[in-house]
Chains A and B, each alone.
Chain A
Amino acid sequence: MDTLLELKGVGKTYHLGREKVRALRDIDLSIGQGDFLSIVGPSGSGKSTLLHLLGLMDKPDHGRIILEETDTSKLSEKEIARFRLEKIGFVFQDFNLLDDFSIEDNIALPLLIKSGRNTLSAREKELLETILEQMDLTDRRRHKPNQVSGGQKQRAAIGRALIGKPSLLLADEPTGNLDPHTGKQIIGLLSKLCSDNGLTLVIVTHDRQVADRANRIVQLQEGRLATRTHAKKYLG
């Protein structure tokens, strides 16, 4: 499996007044293409920080993050934003859809940002239709986020994350605000998309069952990688 993303000696420290909080310490991590990775750990272990760094939403204080053989520490803000737009998709616990946009507009947003236009091209419309079908949201396309269920919102968020055909999909507690049944459906969907499209999926989760769905589990403890395992069982 080719390496998609590599972290070398990555560390991140937050300054809260005079206090220094070392969220991550010397992380070395390699994520291959098509990998399904779960990041687990207790609260405050640095999971979200690691996810933010993987998603290039934040910069490490030391170390390097190499995505598709590009050292991201050398990129400008504009280039990083472009990378995020083209190569990375995000799914959040709170769905984070835009309330003023319909479901289909929410999903199509990355395409509009990429093209800079107000309307989709014919090819982009086809792609949107495909995603709406895959996410089973065709009937809800013109609804606003406050008019659909939690599961539908999360599927819309996943659709939005996928429409730009990213190489990497990052999900931060994607089932955190869903009931167990819906949560299972969502993880199943993510897993299927990962295997069908060769998509690399990284999930941050507290949920044992979600973690076990991954083919790799990474455990964080006090900002360090406690264990790396290929085992499917969550070491809680």
Chain B
Amino acid sequence: MYSKIILNNWKSHPGKFLLMFSALVIALVIMTLLSTLHYGLQNYFLGEGQREKILRELQVTPRGSKLNLSLLNLVPQPELSPETVEQIAALPEVAEVLPTNTISGISSLQIGLLGQIFQTDALLFGSEWELLDSPQVSKTQWESDNEPYPAVVSTKLIDLYNLSFANANNLPQLTEANFRGAEITILLNESTFFARNDGETVKLKAKIAGFSPNTKLLGLTLPDKIINQINSRYLQQDKISYLDAIVRVHNPELLTAARDKISALGLDVQTAEKSLHTLESVFTMSGLALNIFFALMMALAGLLISTTFLAKITEKRHEIAILKTMGLTGTNVAQLYLLEALLVGAMSSAGGLLLAWLISLPLEQAINSLLSNLLTRPERLFLFAPNILFWLSAFTIFISCLFSFLPARKAAKLDPITILSK
């Protein structure tokens, strides 16, 4: 019976209903887009898989190593020996050890890009396939002994180039397509920067097979086996040694114990725990800021609802008085208006969520096309998780009911005698 009264009112006077509906829908659309974007980014950076990965990994380097200077052979380089790697692997907390080796001495690379041949000094690293996390490169491919050797570029390098170098210097943006399959000539013992040769130049062929988020930023990564072979065959370095290693523990609870034990072996250990906590704090704070913003926005919408209901009750006081003479109690009248608020809230939340989803589609496309040259970006920017949608809906309905409570009480207390006597 209440819904009949409510729907009749809406049909006859749609203005007030549309005003309340629009206010809530607009507020909800903004809240939904911001929430789902926040959640999408949070999930990308701190999603369960990502978080777990960060909390299971340690980076181990020989104590006192200075990466850049040692690689240019300007200072002697501390090394991680195979025996040390085995010691680490033997720890009960450790699931796997993925060491990185490097070419001894200087080398440069020649590569054809955008129709031009570029030559530059470059660092060459060697990694096991398990470190790559690159879907483009198969294990079989990585284990090949033949030239052209498979090589992997860091995804972050391309993004770095595009974001900071290409834009600033009006250079063309590079994409995966520019690199994949590109043939590279490795020139051992040759340096363009220092204009010197350290011995007879050896030319080796490599081909870019894919991209990895885990390999070294500055340089090219080849199979570790190939690097050892190159060191042995061309650079008279038979002794196998490693620059550093990624150590993965069985589960995050074992991270601290593993860190302490590896540190006791005289090695430097770094974890991304602190960075993770910083990132988590950033998301927590931004989430808090968003919630404050949402609360303010909803409070504004709620005030509009309250004002509209009060105006409506003033307009409808005659009708309320008639209903009371016919047998409705004050409680019934209050229930009537609270039900109306509930219906407005429910319809607004359905409409708002749908509209937000519709808006997010072209918006996501537009953002993706702006970021199309970035290799490191989330698959979905706006993540419409069921729990977010549920809480947004519930909050909208709650606000609608909350801000109609006082007007409903006012309606309940109206005296039919006073009103009908006028």
- Interface residues of chain A, those whose CB is within 8 Å of chain B, are 48, 52, 55, 57-58, 77-78, 81-82, 84-86, 90, 92, 94, 96-101, 105, 109-110, 112-118, 160
Contacts and interface: CB of A to CB of B under 8 A. Distances in A.
Nearest to B332: A81
Contacts of A116: 1
26 contacts: A48-B421, A57-B325, A58-B417, A77-B329, A78-B329, A78-B331, A81-B328, A81-B329, A81-B332, A84-B326, A90-B326, A92-B420, A94-B420, A96-B321, A97-B322, A98-B8, A98-B322, A99-B12, A100-B8, A100-B11, A100-B319, A105-B8, A112-B4, A115-B1, A116-B1, A118-B1
B417 A113 contact: no
B13 interface: yes
B326 A55 contact: no
Best-buried of B322, B323, B327 by chain A (most CB within 10 Å):
B327
Contacts of A118: 1, 3-4
Contact of B325 (A84, A105, A112, A115): A84
Nearest to A82: B327
Contacts of A92: 420
A147 B328 CA distance: 27
Interface pairs A-B: 6 shortest CB-CB: A85-B327, A100-B12, A100-B8, A112-B1, A81-B329, A118-B4
Nearest to A84: B327
Given A81-B327, A84-B326, A113-B328, 5 more contacts: A55-B325, A57-B416, A92-B420, A98-B8, A113-B1
Interface of B: 1, 3-4, 8-9, 11-13, 318-319, 321-332, 416-417, 420-421
A112 B4 CA distance: 9
Contacts of A97: 322
Contacts of A114: 327
**Chain B facing A: main interface SS:** helix
Contacts of A84: 325-327
A118 B1 CA distance: 4
A55 B326 CA distance: 10
B198 to A, nearest CB: 92
Nearest to B7: A118
A84 B324 CA distance: 9
A90 B325 CA distance: 8
Contacts of A160: 326
Contacts of B327: 81-82, 84-86, 110, 113-114
A85 B318 CA distance: 18
A86 B327 CA distance: 8
Contacts of B331: 78
A47 to B, nearest CB: 12
A98 B421 CA distance: 16
B321 to A, nearest CB: 8
Nearest to B11: A100
A161 to B, nearest CB: 9
Best-buried of A55, A113, A160 by chain B (most CB within 10 Å):
A113
B380 to A, nearest CB: 42
Contacts of A82: 327
Contact of B326 (A85, A94, A100, A115): A85
A92 B416 CA distance: 12
Contact of A96 (B1, B9, B322): B322
Nearest to A76: B329
B401 to A, nearest CB: 21
Given A96-B318, A100-B8, A118-B1, A113 B13 contact: no
B329 A100 contact: no
Contacts of A77: 329-330
B72 to A, nearest CB: 83
A57 B329 CA distance: 11
A9 B13 CA distance: 47
A118 B4 CA distance: 6
Contacts of B4: 105, 112, 118
A42 B333 CA distance: 35
A57 B416 CA distance: 8
A39 to B, nearest CB: 16
A110 B325 CA distance: 10
Contact of A110 (B3, B326, B416): B326
Contacts of A86: 327
A94 to B, nearest CB: 8
Nearest to B8: A100
A48 B420 CA distance: 11
A117 B13 contact: no
A97 B325 CA distance: 12
Contacts of A85: 326-327
B171 to A, nearest CB: 68
Contacts of B421: 48
Contacts of A55: 325
Contacts of A110: 326-327
Contacts of B330: 77
B187 to A, nearest CB: 85
Contacts of A90: 325-326
Nearest to B327: A85
Contacts of A98: 8, 319, 322-323
A127 B324 CA distance: 23
Contacts of A100: 8-9, 11-13, 319
